Structures are given as structure tokens and as C-alpha cells.
Structure 1
Amino acid sequence: MHAWPASEVPALPGQGRDLRIHDTATGGPVTLDPGPVARIYVCGITPYDATHIGHAATYNAFDLVQRVWLDTKRQVHYVQNVTDVDDPLLERADRDGVDWAALAEQETALFREDMTALRMLPPRHYIGAVEAIPGIVPLVERLRDHGAAYELEGDIYFSVESDPHFGQVSNLDAAAMRLLSAERGGDPERPGKKNPVDPMLWMAAREGEPSWDGGSLGRGRPGWHIECVAIALDHLGMGFDVQGGGSDLVFPHHEMGASHAQVLTGEFPMAKAYVHAGMVALHGEKMSKSKGNLVFVSALRRDGVDPAAIRLALLAHHYRADWEWTDQVLRDAEARLGRWRAAVSRPDGPPAEALVEEIREALADDLDAPAALAAVDRWVGLQEASGGTDTGAPGVVSRAVDALLGVAL
């Protein structure tokens, strides 16, 4: 599966700061110090109803992570998956009377278009669950053969008790885990499971549903969590720098994925930091596919909204915050974009070197994009109030905003 084209990232003078970011597992900040190549895995979409603003907010956060690392003169090895076979996708295809594979292809193509328009840097490896199946099957067989998985009516489940570190990503108690498992694709009430939250690794073939040859597992399809584990281990290995996604992935997805990987490799932890973006609401409720209260990037673009304004609307909120999309949020972003573009089109302005450092400092401090935007606002305000004499300053500001915030002026 191919990703989308990369926009050019301007080179800036000097060098960025190492990233200090909130780690869900420890509940506090960690300063990441990758080697020459920083490694990040971000969970991708299940391709139906793409791309809504909640998606965009999540991928914007991890785009900033990449930009901070690139500014430190590191390379970035970024991997993202596409869950192109799963129950929600099959249910939507059945509801709409369309082929599930065609729906997945259509929505993935739309996602690529939106990511390109928003200037999100693409992953080096963009892998679909279906194409990952040949690498998933041996992992499930290994877990089963080592006693970390068991069969239940043809399905294969992972035993969470096989990982001594289980629970150390989410730090939830058993009752909370059981509740979230039921809400987020698990089956805690199924009789015969060793632990109610044990997740499925391999689902035996169901009539009328797609299935693949699973070798000794029989025909079926992979569970959700093992998909990401197989892709991450294949392309990044253990101990990569950041595992990222929305906060709704903390449990069960990232908890289970970590346990799968840790049992498979005998190493801990799977990732040095677990980083999660907040949820976006609309009309007082979390934006979600099940509720249908979605604002789509593609619809905004069709209505003539500049993608740079959409990106500024996202950047105006701290990535970890839960916030609400409103018409006013977009109007504010459009006004800000207009002021910034007017400023960099003028022939001169106040010196901008200090501004570049302010943006760097803000982003290195747990991706504080609102503080970075405020710093640019101050420079623009000074220029509007008293002009300036530095003829190179507007160009410096334009390049910094592009390189570090992903906004083309």
C-alpha cells in the first residue's frame, strides 16, 4: 500500500530541541533522545467515514512530532497502518450494500487526499492489515505454541496473564478494563475465556465474511491488536520511540499491543513513550462514527475552506486536550491565516530569529502548538503596529511556520 506525497520541509538555521512529551504509561513527561533515526508508529484509520476532524487532529499531533525531530537533524522512520478489514468496515459495507474491499480502497484514497492537502508528512511504510496477514499468522502461532494463547471454538485468544507487564500502559483497574473492552470491540461476556478482557488474535472464518489461509490456525482473519504489532515489529523493532494514536486507543488497543509484543520478544517496553491525542467534540458530544456527528476534511475543502486554515484550527488546541469543533473555531483560524499571510507578504518586519527559537521551545515542550501560534501572533502584531527594517524577516517567518507547524503561507 502506498502513502501520499511529502511536502517539502524548509531547512532552518540552527537546530531544534529534544522533545519532552507526556507519556501515558508513566503519567508524566519524558524527554526523548532518539538516535540518528527516530522511530514512531501511529495507528491508522479503519477506512470508512474518513477523514473527520478527530482523525485530522490526531495525525496533526504526530506530524508535529516528526517536524520537531527533523528540526533536530534526525531522520524519522514513521510507520502507519490501515485496518482495511475489521467488523466496523464490514458492517458499514453491508449497510450500504457495497463491497467491503472497494469501500476500504475508496476511503483510504480519500484519506490520502486529505493528508496531502493538510501537509501531513507521510509514513515511510503505510501497511494495510490485509497485506500484513502473512506476517501476522506466524506471530499468533508462536504465541499459541508458547502457551500465551488458547483456542475457543476455533478462535484464538491471547492470555493477558502471560505478560507480567500487562496493565502498565493504561494503569486501569479490572472493572474499567472490562467496561472499555465491551465498548471498544472486545467480547468480555463470552463464556469460556480465561480472562474477560483477553483479546482475539485470530477469528475463525465466519459465513459471508472475508477470510484467509491461516496455516495451522485455519481460515480466518486477524484480530485488531496483533495487526499493529506485526507491522511495528517488522518495520521498527522493539523499543521504538513513540507509539501514538487517539486517547481512545489507550485501552484496549495499545495495552494489548504492548503485551503481545512483550511476550513475543521477551523485551520491555514495546515503546519508550505512549502518546495520545485528545478527542474532538461536535455539539457537545465526542465526534464519532457511531453517532454520525462528523465534520469531514473533504467536505470543508469542497466548501472552499483553505486546508491551511483547517490546520491552524487544529493547532490552536493542545494535542492532549479534548475540545469542540465550532464554526467560530474555523472563523478564528481563517482570520489568523489572513493576518499571517499579509504579514509575510510585506517587504520587511521585526527580526525573526527569536521567534524561530520561541516556536522551537514551545513545540519541544509537549508539542505546545497554541504557545507557538501565540508567538507568531506577537511577531505579526509588532509588524502591524510599527513595521520593521529586517527585509529577511518575513521569509524567515514563512519558512519556520511551514517547517515547524506545517502551514504554508
Structure 2
Amino acid sequence: MRQIPAKFDSNDPRVLDSPYTVYAEVRESGRLARGAAGQWVASHHADVSRLLKDRRLGHQYPAEYHEFSNGTGPANDFLQRIVLDQDPPTHTFWRRIMHHSFSPPLMRRLYGYVAGQVDELMSSALSRGHLDVVSDLAFPLPVTVVCELIGIPDVDREAVRPHAVELAKAFALYVRSEERQGAHEAVTWLRDYITTLVEERASRPADDLISNLLAAERETPELDRATLIDNVVFLFFAGFETTTNLISTTWSALLTNPEQLRLLRERPELAENAVAEMLRYDAPIQATARYVREPVEIDGRTVRAGRILVLLLGAANHDPARFDRPDELDITRDPNPHVSFGGGPHHCLGAALALVEGRAVVDWLARAAEPPRLNGPIIRRPSVSFRSYRSIPVTLCHGR
């Protein structure tokens, strides 16, 4: 008799708190689990890494899917316009245009600027003797960097912040009814704000992403203004949300695994390995979804066209079939084939930027005169799609 697949509920309180026990249960039950209505869930590393590259799966969803997930409102057409939720050739077109501003060589050249921003933020924290990692470092660092790249003025960054945080809700696998209005209102506010910036750059170009996109618009008739604006909104959000979570995880994981922090400080050359391990150990984005365009067979079951296939990145990163001691933090882990940046055509556009920012933070921790110490509880920000934090209170010492 065929085994009935397990059910994965992304809104289960256990998933919101610490999902890895649930992921283990789902993996052990088989290679395919049931999700919400019309969804199937893959959790094994071998399947997830392969399916991320499978051209039978797309990222462009029917309008009805967005309405089911988000309700009625402006977040729906926003999600249908952004590069994340497009398939080739539209996705290829937009990714080519944006690649100039986020290319790996350009991002690596930013290291000195990013490290300087880390030093400035941490110098201020050291003078106080304490910081909240989330509000004093993990959020302001990537926001400052992405605002610089896009062209958002310093004076506006605090005003933009709460709306960008609200926008995160729109990217959940299923948005709870009480959170939908906030996501729709965030899209409206951010669109209006970016529209004003775009109009300013149209008359006074600068060396930033908006000006680059406007130059492409003049040369490319099919590049429409509304889609340009929505993609700038998306790039602003994507440029800090994942990295904020990565930086927070880095501090949380090292402070709660002091032997690993000691090892990093003894062997600072492990910084690059450490960033990769943070991405694997507690992936900033826990799941991604694909729209099944053609039938896909997994473990003898056929997932029909028109279904949604959820790929549990966090579960794949803890699969004991691929990783030795997967639930342990090990900054010496090498190789580290984590799937936290996705794969295939939709490999994270901002991956190189996130690695530079993560490396700058790890380098600071490796060379700090004295190791930081927790001085209160670590508080999570509940999220279905992201491993987010609300507070990580830390005591700092200058050292001698």
C-alpha cells in the first residue's frame, strides 16, 4: 500500500520558532510532502538542488495564485512585474539589465567601502559599550549599502525602513489575512517614493542603479516605466532583507557557539568558510516556490502542471544525506554545497553583495580586541519565509 505523504504546514508555530525538527520529520516521511492547497513540498537536498535548475518549473505564477496568497491589492501586480517572478525571456531581459549594477567583480570592489561602514557602526557601539545587533548593525549596514547603490538619499532611509519591513510579508508562501493590508500599503508607499526618485534622476542622472536603468530605458523601447519602478522597489527590499538576516544569524550563531567564535578569532582565514556556514546553518530565506509548467515525477509521484512546488531550502541544508552533522555549526565545513542562494536562472541576483557584507562583519568579529557577549535573550521576528530577528542584545569591550 502506497504511503500517504506527510503534510507540511508553513504556519505551524514550531516552524515559525525553530523549523529544523519539523524539517527532519518531513524528510524522514519521504521525498515529497503535501503543502497548502495545490502545493507539494520537496525537502531533500538531492531533490531541491536538482529542481532549482529544472526548466519544467517556473517562477511566473498566474494572477489567481497571487490573489489567493495575498488577497486583492497592489502587491499582486507588483509581484507579477518584478524580475523574481518572471520566466525567460522576460526574466533574462531584466536580469541582463540589472547585472551591470550587481556583478560579482563590482560587488567585490565594494569590500573596502562596506568594511568601513562596519567599522563606523561598531566604533559607535564600542563607545557605548553595547549594541543591539539587529537595529544597530544588521539593518543599517545593508540598508546603507543598497541605498548607496540604488541612489536613495541618506535623509530618507529611516522613512523608507518600516515600509520595506512590511513588504516582506508579501513574499510568504501564503500571507495571513491580518497581514495582507500592510503588504499592499507598503507597495503603494514605496512605489510613490521610488517614482519621485526616478523622475529626479531622469532630469539629473547620477552614478547609481536608477540612472543605469533609465539609460537602458532610453535605449530599450520595451522597458516600461511602471515595471522599472517596481523592480527598483524589489531590489531595494531584496538588497537588505536577506543580508540583515544573514548578519543577525552570524552574531546569534557565534555567540551561542562560543567555541566557534574562538576558532574564528584564532584562525581569521576561515572568514569565507564561516559566511557559507551561516548561510547553510540557518538560511535567511527558508523556502522558495516554483510553478509547475510541465509534469514532474518525484519518488514515483507525478506533480501535475498547474501545481506549486515548494522547495524547502532550510531542510535541504540540514539533510544528513548531504551534510555531516548537519545540525552543528562548523565554520571549517568544506565543501559546503548549501542552496541558500537558490539555483538555475533564479540564482540570487544579490548573492555577491550579501557575501561581501557578511564577510566584512565576520572579519570584524575575527579581529575585535575582545569578543562580544550576549547580555539578554535573542528574540526572533516570526516569519513564514525568513529567519528573522527582532533583537540580539550584546555587551562590547574595548580591550587593552
Same fold (TM over 0.5): no
More helix by share: 2
More strand by share: 1
Structure scoring higher RCO (CA < 8 A, sep ≥ 6) equals 2
TM, length-normalised to structure 2: 0.25
